[in-house]
Structure 1
Amino acid sequence: MPKRRKPHGREENDALGIVVTWLGHSTAVVDLDGVRIVADPLLRRNNGILRRRGIQPVRAAWEAADAVLLSHLHHDHAEVPSLKLFQGVPVLTAPANATWVRRKGLDGRGLADDEWFPVGAEGHVEVRLVEAIHDSRPMPHRPNAANGHLVRGPSGVAWLAGDTDLYPGMAALSEIAGGSIDVALVPIGGWGPRLSPGHMGPQEAAVACRLSAARHAVPVHWKTLHVPAGEMVPRGWMDVAGPRFLEALAAEAPDCRAVDLDIGGSVTIPTVVSPGD
């Protein structure tokens, strides 16, 4: 794993840490050591039949990406018009999904199970696929592979879980990363009041944070999309997952700090510097 960078010797505007920006649903931007990575981009006002609540992502929040992470090809994660905003940018995903991405005229990169892909000009930030259990809604017209991602650099490690059920291998993520999980982006809801199999709700997401021993958690995949006229039926369903996750995390993983972002909000996850650095 790249050695974590010491705080001295950095430019004044080169913050030590991972900056996570949540753009709604599962779309997130991870800025790490001069590299920008965008996950599951949904960047338009709406997503097919699904309506967006909250602001449409502003271009400055996601442009100039060095890589795109694609967890799977369900339409609320892999929207072709949004992906086409990243011409020439490597799209890192499972091999079967990468073939589909290339058919769309984009730079799909299918990663092997144990492959770390260098991102950015210096290559000091790396991305690897990790397991995700999400096979309950197969699509006849798109590949059905699913994965999460680990992103690591000198300033730390981020785990983007993707859509998944709980699985025992979450306990091995820090070992795979070669260091502790500094921030986990975990899904806690959906675009309807009921979750289908292959998704984590607030309680399962809290367990995932305990298993992975993440230091911080950013809940995603909630509070954003809904079917037409479904925002208020039943009343309040779009907003309950966040508070439930905070409560569950306090019980399951009290050492993990939850960061409940508004859509469009950002947080800097500080690096833990070893005493000898």
Structure 2
Amino acid sequence: MIRIRWLGHSTVVIDLDGARLLTDPLLRNHVGLLRRVTPPPGRADWADTDAILLSHLHLDHADVASLRQLPTTPIFASAAVAGWLSERGLRTTATSAQWQSVSDSTSAQIRLVPAEHHARPLPGRPCDANGFLLRAASGRVWFAGDTAAYPEMADLPDWAGGRIDVALLPIHGWGPRLSAGHLDAAGAAEVCAVVRPRFVVPIHYGTLHPFGLNLRRLDWMHSPAETFAQTLAMIAPDTTLIELAAMGPTWQMPTA
């Protein structure tokens, strides 16, 4: 069974054959100068999480205060990211491009895949970014993290061992403009045309805005979803769009 619930921005609850995984948890109303437009998740929303998947150390993805709300939950990340988090007292597991089990109680496995997202290093934090592949008997999931397109994306199905069932794909960001190292809505649709997942869940849009921004002019928060849907239908018609509302209901992947 594969079940997906989007908690906003890059935070997703993934239920995969008995394993509950939480990506890039942002569990507070704000981080730095960024504010949520929807209420933050409550503890019930991430209850029973078996592992956290952390893509990189930008503040909107690696909020230490949020991570400390799950003090006993292991954080899977690259060696550089895991080392930085471990120095701050967090429980980490260094992950690589080799498949490894999430826990002894589930058959779900994960591995790192590349991400092209190195344009905005933060002082004192390793500039290391990755996505994750997940696999179990029910199927394969790709959490892209934060990334621009890169040539090796064409290899993702081979790395996953078959067609990817669900892609969790960023389609924008937290401001009116995107810096290098990001996918916009049209670019994300082009990635789907290359990778050909069965289903795609757009994330990383419509949740955060910079403090003090004119809240009457937030069309940039919602227009990426429309652009993505239109472009996907034109260039990747064999990928089914699953539009989830932040903090909305859970979607369960239908059986083949």
Secondary structure of the residue aligned to 1:140 is coil
Distance of 2:85 and 2:214 partners within structure 1: 31
| 5+ residue gaps, structure 2 | none
Pick the aligned partner of 2:187 from 172, 187, 204: 204
Pick the aligned partner of 2:210 from 227, 234, 244: 227
The answer on whether the counterparts of 1:156 and 1:271 sit within 8 Å (CA) in structure 2 is no
Which residue matches 2:145?
A: 162
Q: What is the TM-score with the length of structure 2 in the denominator?
A: 0.96
Aligned residues between the structures: 255
How big is the shift at 1:235?
Answer: 4.3
Alignment of 1:26-65 (within 5 A): 26-65=10-49
**Percent of aligned positions with the same letter in both sequences?**
45
How big is the shift at 1:85?
Answer: 1.6
Counterpart residue type for residue 236 of structure 2: A
| 5+ residue gaps, structure 1 | 1-16, 273-277
The answer on whether the counterparts of 1:18 and 1:271 sit within 8 Å (CA) in structure 2 is no
CA RMSD of aligned residues (A): 1.3
Which residue matches 1:248?
A: 231
The answer on whether the counterparts of 2:19 and 2:106 sit within 8 Å (CA) in structure 1 is no
The answer on whether the counterparts of 1:187 and 1:222 sit within 8 Å (CA) in structure 2 is yes
- Greater shift after overlay, 29-38 or 43-52? 43-52
- Deviation digits for residues 22-47 of structure 1, max 9, x if unmatched? 00000001001111000000001211
Distance of 1:244 and 1:232 partners within structure 2: 21
Distance of 1:137 and 1:234 partners within structure 2: 26
Distance of 1:183 and 1:112 partners within structure 2: 21
Counterpart residue type for residue 79 of structure 2: P
The answer on whether the counterparts of 2:18 and 2:106 sit within 8 Å (CA) in structure 1 is no
Distance of 2:233 and 2:96 partners within structure 1: 36
The answer on whether the counterparts of 1:186 and 1:219 sit within 8 Å (CA) in structure 2 is yes
**Bigger CA radius of gyration:** 1
Which residue matches 1:22?
A: 6
Which residue matches 1:261?
A: 244
The answer on whether the counterparts of 2:17 and 2:106 sit within 8 Å (CA) in structure 1 is no
Distance of 1:91 and 1:216 partners within structure 2: 26
